[in-house]
Every structure is written in C-alpha cells, then in structure tokens.
Amino acid sequence: MQLWDEYGTKLLASPDTYSHPDSSPVTNLTYTQALILLRIPEEELEEFIAERDMKSMTHLELQQALKDRDQAIQEKKDLQKDLTLKSRELAQLTTQTQSLEQQVNRLQAEILRRAGKSPLKLRELEAAKEEVPSARKIAELEKKLKDAETKFSVKSAVAHLPFTEIT
C-alpha cells in the first residue's frame, strides 16, 4: 500500500518497460529497493536512482548509499549553520572594528587638539623651570652679599677701634 501511495502508476510496467528509455526509473526497482527508497523525497528520487546502478546494488549497498546520502545532507546542514553563525560573527566583528576605528580617530583628533595648546603650556613650564633656578641663585647671591657685608662691617668696626699695644 505504501508503495502504491508513493509511486502510484509509475510501478505499472509492461514487460518491455525495462528496455524502454523513457520509462520511469522506479519501474526498474525490486520490491525491497522500492521500500528502502521510500525514505527519499520524490523530487530527489529520480536523481538518486540515475546516479547509481540499481540493478547491481544489493540491499545492504543501497542502505549504505542512503546512509551516506543522509550523512552528507546532515553535514551540509551543519556547514550551512556554521556558515550562518560565522557570517553573523563576522558582521558583528566588522561593526565592532568600525566602532573602534571611529574611537581611535576621535582620540587622535583630541590628542592633536590638545597638542595644539600644549606648545604654549610647554613654554610656560620651561619659563617656570628657568625662573626657579634663577630665584635660587638670586637667593644664594643675596645670602653671600649679606655675609660679605657682615664681614666687611665687622672688619671696618675693628679697624676703627683704637690700636693699643700690649706689653
């Protein structure tokens, strides 16, 4: 009953069907082969039969061919799924890369903007550095001057003292 539901009038064959080139490939199948091939969708069945020498295939070989076909279909689905995931991941990474590039460009522009102001600040800092050593030097010189004045005033005070001989 299943065979009739699936293959219908394609199974009705006259004795000369095997030699007729326009006959349906299903008509050349044995009963067991037809049962085994029920797993294949109708739109793929004729291609599957045409690619194989069904007359010389054993039932085990046919079952192995179906198993190989099913495995290839599953691998194709898995690869398609992986491809879809990788495509999404690539799109996400591309978006992320573009975002990071924009961020780098903004930061570089900010650095350049700040660098435009920094020569003025650098000059101010250099002037301050120069002022600090000179202020120290001035303080040192003032201290030396005071010391010298003190020594000079002591010497002049001593010079004005009356000189007495000690006998």
pLDDT digits (tens, 9 = 90+) for 76-94: 999 999 999 999 999 999 9
pLDDT averaged over every residue in the chain: 77
Distance CA 22, CA 18 (A): 10
Q: What is the pLDDT of residue 140?
A: 81
Helix (H, G, I), strand (E, B) or coil at 163: coil
What element of type H or E holds 35? helix 31-36
Confidence at 12, pLDDT banded by 50, 70, 90: very low
pLDDT at res. 62: 92
Q: What is the pTM of this model?
A: 0.47
Write out the E strands in the chain.
none
User: pLDDT higher for 14 or 29?
Assistant: 29
Q: What is the pLDDT of residue 150?
A: 80
Quick one: which H or E segment has residue 156?
A: helix 59-160
The predicted pLDDT at position 63 comes to 93
Beta-carbon contacts of 57 under 8 Å, excluding residues fewer than 6 positions away, are 33, 65
- Give me the percent of the chain exceeding a pLDDT of 90: 25
Q: How far is CA 161 from CA 5, 148, 154, 156, 157, in A?
A: 147, 20, 11, 9, 7
Whole-number Å distance between alpha carbons of 39 and 66: 8
Give the whole-angstrom CA distance, residue 102 versus residue 140: 55
